């Protein structure tokens, strides 16, 4: 007859083995390959892919000497560079959120140190407010952006380009699903607020973010609206977009 202590040991071993199987299956679901979930080589591949996508999605802004990211920085890109994902609404192609201005600076430091970035001749940064608004409007003279066909978005048609209070379902959405503006930039209105480089005002440590988010009313997502908070502030409606300058001596 089996001793009670031996029964406990067998049950414990069975539970441990079962949990190991669950973790392994989870890794397969998340990555498609157990080895990819654990090897440094797979992480390096994902990093190179993310950096390449970032470089190739930068858009030259007409008449200006800077480029702007076609999309908000995604969770997949953030996680590849930083090794973790702080977002509340987790999905690889959704914009990263719940990141502070200081967090963005750390991301930029790591990104700019990558060999692929140095080879490209680009230097990534947060956009200035002036650059952000110019890129957002894309030639519009109204409160919202202009489309490639010359149509200017209004408060009533903002749903064509933005995820905001009326259509977001109280969450972020994958980047690039709405219409782009005339410069080819997506989600400049809504989805997540975007940190900018600037101080909100002289003498204050607070930093600016622009563009509105999934939780805001239409008017809050207008091109000229400014918001701000301390540089260590994080929230599930706050992300960022990259700007870049090209090394002229490249």
Tens of pLDDT along 92-105?
Answer: 999 999 999 999 99
Predicted pLDDT of residue 41: 76
Q: How far apart are CA 44 and CA 216, in angstroms?
A: 37
Q: Residue 50: in which H helix or E strand, if any?
A: helix 40-56
Q: Residue 8: in which H helix or E strand, if any?
A: helix 4-31
Q: What digits encode the pLDDT tens for the residues 114-148? A: 999 999 999 999 999 999 999 999 999 999 999 99
Q: How far apart are CA 34 and CA 150, in angstroms?
A: 49
Q: What is the pTM of this model?
A: 0.84
Pick 156 or 14 by higher pLDDT.
156
Return phi, psi of residue 177, to 5°.
Answer: -90, -25
For residue 5, pLDDT beyond 60? no
Q: Residue 134: in which H helix or E strand, if any?
A: helix 129-137
Domains defined for the chain, CATH in brackets:
1-38 (no CATH), 40-246 (3.90.1580.10)
In order of 57, 108, 118, 152, 183, the CA distances from 122 in angstroms are: 12, 12, 7, 31, 19
Q: What is the DSSP letter of 107?
A: H
Q: What digits encode the pLDDT tens for the residues 199-237? A: 999 999 999 999 999 999 999 999 999 999 999 999 999
Predicted pLDDT of residue 34: 38
Predicted pLDDT of residue 56: 98
Question: Terminus-to-terminus CA distance in the chain, angstroms?
Answer: 80
Q: How far apart are CA 126 and CA 146, in angstroms?
A: 23
């Amino acid at each position: 007859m089996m001793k009670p202590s031996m029964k406990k040991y067998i049950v414990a071993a069975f539970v441990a083995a079962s949990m190991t199987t669950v973790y392994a299956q989870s890794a397969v679901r998340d990555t498609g390959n157990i080895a990819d979930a654990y090897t440094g080589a797979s992480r390096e591949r994902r990093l190179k892919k993310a950096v390449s996508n970032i470089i190739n999605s930068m858009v030259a802004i007409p008449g200006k000497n800077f480029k702007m990211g076609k999309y908000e920085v995604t969770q997949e890109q953030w996680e590849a560079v930083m090794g973790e994902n702080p977002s509340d609404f987790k999905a690889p192609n959704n914009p990263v959120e719940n990141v502070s201005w200081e967090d963005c600076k750390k991301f930029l430091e790591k990104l700019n140190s990558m060999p692929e970035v140095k080879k490209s001749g680009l230097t990534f940064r947060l956009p200035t407010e002036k650059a952000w608004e110019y890129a957002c409007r894309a030639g519009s003279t109204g409160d919202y952006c202009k489309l490639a066909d010359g149509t200017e978005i209004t408060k009533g048609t903002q749903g064509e380009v933005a995820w905001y209070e009326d259509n977001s379902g109280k969450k972020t959405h994958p980047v690039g699903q709405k219409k782009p503006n005339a410069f080819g930039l997506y989600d400049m209105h809504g989805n997540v607020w975007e940190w900018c480089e600037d101080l909100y005002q002289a003498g204050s440590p607070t930093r600016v973010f622009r563009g509105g988010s999934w939780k805001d009313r239409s008017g809050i997502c207008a091109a000229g609206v400014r918001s701000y908070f301390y540089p260590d502030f994080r929230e599930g409606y706050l992300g960022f977009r990259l700007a870049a300058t090209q090394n002229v001596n490249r």
